[in-house]
Structure 1
């Protein structure tokens, strides 16, 4: 379904988005599994009589948002955009926790000594998501059978591989319940293992809505449970207030964000995305 009009009232926003949980946040570190060599490298080494072994994993860092509840809660793993960990991602983590969800915001670039895709092109978001899943499953405050994904831009695009039924690199014991992709580059002609919601602006200068339109229109053909919402006039990063051109909304102490001139904060689309995100996760996570 494509959403092209925003009619949400202020009262509706208040009723649906008012957080009812107090929460705490902390920096956490969790191990990544050893990285096996590719089939091509194994073949090359074998021809030379060499046996390759997996590379040792690194420590992955992130921010954990945890609602203060005595019973195990559903959890959501957040994958950041290509410009790296931003305040907008942290604000989403705070919002998710206020709704009662454990949120693990994975710092894929910072874990490898960088800040963004531009200076850290070796970040493996797929593996980071799998390792975050295993970390959360071991925590007593997490319901191990109720874990979902949330991704922004590059992180959102990664969901199509992570949730691809034919992905040979996904461990067999990993079963995500749902995913939400913000302004992604959609991968077509794949069968997904979980329901997916796509949120995108029709004025996105980076990722055209064409591929996501196709994913949505062919959802039944591939047996996918897809919700697709296209916001008129919204660009990439439309939920990030640091892209606001309104005086007083942007944090002027922060550096000018990536591609600031081409992208704009859209308050209406942001508020509607909050409502849809909460409703989607409430539906698919117990």
Structure 2
């Protein structure tokens, strides 16, 4: 019971000042049913002002869920930059509240492509310019979606770029198929920066490096003094969850916002890298 309450409390903190941002132009959309359920996968869709088709970003939440709050915090901001955003609710149709201690169902690995499959069918989306952006567990999903392998190869549609906030990098070789940006705190004790450095260098769990000519280069930004969930304004008072330190870092947050905007600008232009 304590764990459930603690995770729920952290989910609220990660959401930041969501109540103050209750007004929203996001619409809830249904897309492909991922499981043998009546309720389809859902997401929060935003369209930027102006004529389309526009580039788009799929957003993936962490183990505490709270897709709506992720949309209000990051989806709204990215849409203001001129992108369509679709924030996926991976938990609702599966009847999940959180997976911080239990681990995510394997099927979640396909949710990014389910969202992409929906977006490329929309007239207001430029189907060749869709990026994926994830946080913690969602960052793992984002990396899985663009590293060369079964998940990436199974989809006829492809992402243009990927962004991962404090992902678990252990187990990835870094053989990415598209430009990828990883942002993580130097002091993160839940998802370790050293593991992401190993991934960027092409070293896997056994210290075996990929060949230098394999994969698209990964850009890694490590923020000194920053912990897990450094972009969550509700964590101005640090706390522990499952033995890990969570803390908001305004400097790292501001820098990450700028880094995300510049990365999207560089990779999502019509003439940018594919």
TM-score tier, shorter chain, comes to 0.7 to 0.9
Deviation (angstroms), 1:168: 5.4
Deviation (angstroms), 1:63: 0.8
Find the partner of 2:198 among 197, 214, 225: 214
Equivalent residue number for residue 116 of structure 1: 98
Deviation (angstroms), 1:124: 2.6
What's the secondary structure of 1:24's corresponding residue?
A: coil
Equivalent residue number for residue 154 of structure 1: 137
- TM-score, normalised via structure 1 length: 0.74
Once the two structures are superposed, residues 4-42 of structure 1 have per-residue CA deviations (whole angstroms, 9 ceiling, x without a partner) of xxxxxxxxxxxxxxxxxxx93111111136x7xxxxxxx
Equivalent residue number for residue 178 of structure 2: 194
What's the secondary structure of 2:57's corresponding residue?
A: strand
What's the secondary structure of 1:272's corresponding residue?
A: helix
- Which is higher, the Rg of structure 1 or of structure 2? 1
How far, CA to CA, are the matches of 2:240 and 2:75 in structure 1? 20
What's the secondary structure of 2:127's corresponding residue?
A: strand
Equivalent residue number for residue 228 of structure 2: 236
- TM-score, normalised via structure 2 length: 0.77
Equivalent residue number for residue 61 of structure 2: 80
Gaps of 5+ in 1: 1-22, 36-54, 247-255
Equivalent residue number for residue 32 of structure 2: 31
Find the partner of 2:52 among 60, 65, 71: 71
For the pair 1:94 / 2:95, whether they are aligned, the reply is no
Task: Tell me if structure 1 keeps the 8 A contact 2:110–2:151.
Answer: no
C-alpha RMSD of the superposition = 2.6
Higher mean alpha-carbon deviation, 172-181 vs 268-277, is at 172-181
Deviation (angstroms), 1:208: 1.2
Gaps of 5+ in 2: 1-23, 203-209, 270-274
What's the secondary structure of 2:25's corresponding residue?
A: strand
Task: Tell me if structure 1 keeps the 8 A contact 2:33–2:41.
Answer: yes
